[in-house]
Structure 1
Amino acid sequence: MNPVKIRCVITDDEPLASKGMMGYAAKTGFLEVVAVCEDAVQLNTVLKQQPVDLLLLDIEMPYISGIEFLKNYPNPPKVIFTTAYERYAMQGFELDVLDYLLKPISFERFLKAANKAYDFFAARQTAVSPYFFIRSDKKLEKVLYQDILFAEALENYVAVYTTEKKILTHATLKSVTEMLPAQQFIQPHKSYVVNIQHISAIEGNVLHMGSFQVPISKYQKEAILEKIVNNRLPKK
């Protein structure tokens, strides 16, 4: 198994809190801090520019709270809340966050949350079963990972395109993505998840898979191309 590296963003309006978590993250060896934001507005911009796995997210911030941001952002990364207020704990876990850290945060407690995140992403990377089930038309359909071309978010539904058919399920793209092995699937755009094995060509900001085309977000193009090509391109 390849080592798990977790790309994370720290968002906190207290500079000292952000600095402390940056130091803690560096000590873990597997949390890679790709950005530090002062509020959810900055975070919103960052998430549109690069792929992120995990948010270390404060709750009470200017403009919009961490909870409201998480409720309204489509298909957000996994979240660890970091806050001085215990009263938001129930809301946090209703939003399926990985953990809830109360300030002041000790390194011991931070490491426990970080390890929980590591276990979550490691499990996705080493998915044992070659398939999962999708609920569609009042039945459960077995879908092999290798047969999936891509999945597309459609408001309250997700369309899963396989080599044989299209399956429509009442779910979020985030919930479907969490069922897929991370080393095999990428998210080139907020509305799509793609099976790398079925990409036949890359043209500009478009991925080709047979007769299908999926857009690449211009903000994520470099990172996405690196994952797809992964040193499989001869040098000039």
Structure 2
Amino acid sequence: MSNVTIRCVITDDEPLAARGILGYAECTGFLQVVAVCEDAIQLNSVLKQQPVDLLLLDIEMPYINGIEFLKNYPNPPKVIFTTAYERYAIQGFELDVLDYLLKPVSFERFLKAANKAYDFFAAQNTATQPYFFIKSDKKLEKVLYQEILFAEALENYVAVYTTDRKIITHATLKSVVEMLPAQQFIQPHKSYVVNIQHISAIEGNMLHMGSHQVPISKYQKEEVLEKIVNNRLLKK
């Protein structure tokens, strides 16, 4: 994975909470805190002055809350919400935030969110070349990441299924996984890697992609479902 430094701004009207998040961010080694703001007014000024990749953003603040700020700021950076209020979760994910942290935030939970941000920006870094070449039947075939449904290990070969063809190549599944952006693909089973964008349904221990089905290992099911659903499950 590429080396990634994420420029971020912490915004929280509680000084103690802001210091805690700052301490956590400094421990990661890849979150570079460029400013700490008390409210959305200060944050607005910071964003006008310098490039920022990520906001560690509280919701309930004076003047304007974090959700309203995000809705009204043009082309905002990616966001991880840090809040004491669970009731904003659905609104938060409707705004396509990377994660939603409930206070008090443990370092373990913070690191999980930070790593999610790392994966996202690492994938963005490779977005200028969203394809790779597969050697098959004495020719090199160009395959776009977005076209891949899944890849399956077949002893000394790998079958790559795309939206319009199946390509067999002499390779290991591990070598294929290393070529793919981690944010977009997941390995639900030791013999398969799947493009999350093409999953149409989850039924028991099977992932559906059109007419294809891929098994989920019982040992990885919880992790796989969390990454696929990613808090986008509609509940009663």
What is the TM-score with the length of structure 1 in the denominator?
A: 0.54
Q: Which amino acid aligns with 2:70?
A: L
Q: Which amino acid aligns with 1:91?
A: Q
Alignment of 1:168-179 (within 5 A): none
1:87 alignment counterpart = 87
Gaps of at least 5 residues in structure 2 are 132-236
Q: Which amino acid aligns with 2:30?
A: F
Distance 1:130 1:107 in 2: 33
SS of alignment partner, residue 25 of structure 2 = helix
Query: For each residue in 1:139-170, what CA deviation from the matched residue of structure 2 results, as whole angstroms up to 9, or x when unmatched?
Result: xxxxxxxxxxxxxxxxxxxxxxxxxxxxxxxx
Indicate whether 1:8 and 2:8 are aligned: yes
Larger CA Rg, structure 1 vs 2 = 2
Distance 2:87 2:130 in 1: 41
Which ranges of 4 or more aligned residues in structure 1 deviate by more than 6 Å? none
1:75 alignment counterpart = 75
Gaps of at least 5 residues in structure 1 are 132-236
Distance 2:130 2:114 in 1: 27
1:103 alignment counterpart = 103
1:36 alignment counterpart = 36
Query: For each residue in 1:207-236, what CA deviation from the matched residue of structure 2 results, as whole angstroms up to 9, or x when unmatched?
Result: xxxxxxxxxxxxxxxxxxxxxxxxxxxxxx
Assess if the C-alpha contact under 8 Å between 2:13 and 2:38 holds in 1. Answer: yes
1:126 to partner: Cα distance: 1.7
SS of alignment partner, residue 80 of structure 1 = strand
Identical positions, percent: 85
1:127 to partner: Cα distance: 2.6
1:86 to partner: Cα distance: 0.2
1:169 alignment counterpart = none
1:125 alignment counterpart = 125
Greater relative CO (CA pairs within 8 A, separation 6+): 1
Distance 1:63 1:103 in 2: 21
Assess if the C-alpha contact under 8 Å between 2:8 and 2:56 holds in 1. Answer: yes
What is the TM-score with the length of structure 2 in the denominator?
A: 0.54
Assess if the C-alpha contact under 8 Å between 2:11 and 2:37 holds in 1. Answer: yes
Aligned residues: 133
